[in-house]
Amino acid sequence: MSKFDQIIMARTDILKRIKNDKVIDDRIQKYRLHYDYLKTCLDFPKEFKVDRSKYSDWKLGEVKKLKFNYWWKKIGSNIFGKQLDQVTEVKTTKQSNSSTFVEIPLNVPTEYAIEKIRKILQDKKITTKSTERFRPLQLQLYLESFILKKKNLKLVKIATELKKKRLRIFKTHKNRAVMNEDQIDNMFPSSMKYEVVNRIIWRNHTNARKILLNVCKGEFPGKYS
């Protein structure tokens, strides 16, 4: 992927997170996974004690009974959406530590002006890079492994079910699926040793449990590896 394509995708991603002049700080997929893990914690209250003070705005009674899309529309988007300030033309010489004022000559090309503004903002903003690597597919597989293990399935059977689900998703979503057909084939190939399959599934289950315990404390995903 070229640098240009990466820039376009980054801009598109930002625009997707803005609706009705509200911006969502993170990808909605992350909130969806956090929700699924929390819902699982609530499904097993004897094993996972959720700190309800960490989720006072989430309305846990609704979390327990609603699918994510309904909960997000009704509750979640209001919790995580931040109202954007309107962009307006300002004529002032006032100086501020929290704002910057830009004068744009009307004879410069629009794209040139946008790039210059972006460079000014990047230079002024203090950014904090997270060391956490968010891997949604892995997090989803961990949770699915945990739930299937709760159904008393053997580890090899869990691997089979995980692969079947990815195939169903691929057939339904095609190019929009996270994994393509080759990746699914290589997920648990027939040549893979029984012990290796068991080890992978057990690790999935263990990581899921650690994440679920983190979620109980209001953290997602938190440290788990």
What is the token pair recorded at 43?
């499904």
Dump pLDDT digits (tens) for 117-148.
877 777 665 443 444 578 999 999 999 999 99
Is the pLDDT at 4 greater than 60, yes or no? no
Average pLDDT over residues 5-29: 56
With residue 22 as reference, give the H or E element that holds it.
Answer: strand 22-24
**Range in 27-41, 131-145, 153-167 the model is least confident about:** 131-145
List the one residue out of 170, 175, 137 whose CA is nearest residue 27. Answer: 137
| Residue 131 exposed, middle or buried by CB count within 10 Å (0-12, 13-18, 19+) | exposed
Residue 129, pLDDT score: 43
Contacts of 165 (CB under 8 A, 6+ apart): 144
What is the token pair recorded at 113?
């002006």
Is the pLDDT at 152 greater than 60, yes or no? yes
Rounded to whole angstroms, the Cα distance separating 12 from 43 reads: 36
Q: What is the DSSP letter of 113?
A: H
The amino acid at residue 65 is K
- pTM higher than 0.95, yes or no? no
* Neighbouring C-beta atoms of residue 23, cutoff 10 Å: 14
Rounded to whole angstroms, the Cα distance separating 85 from 104 reads: 20
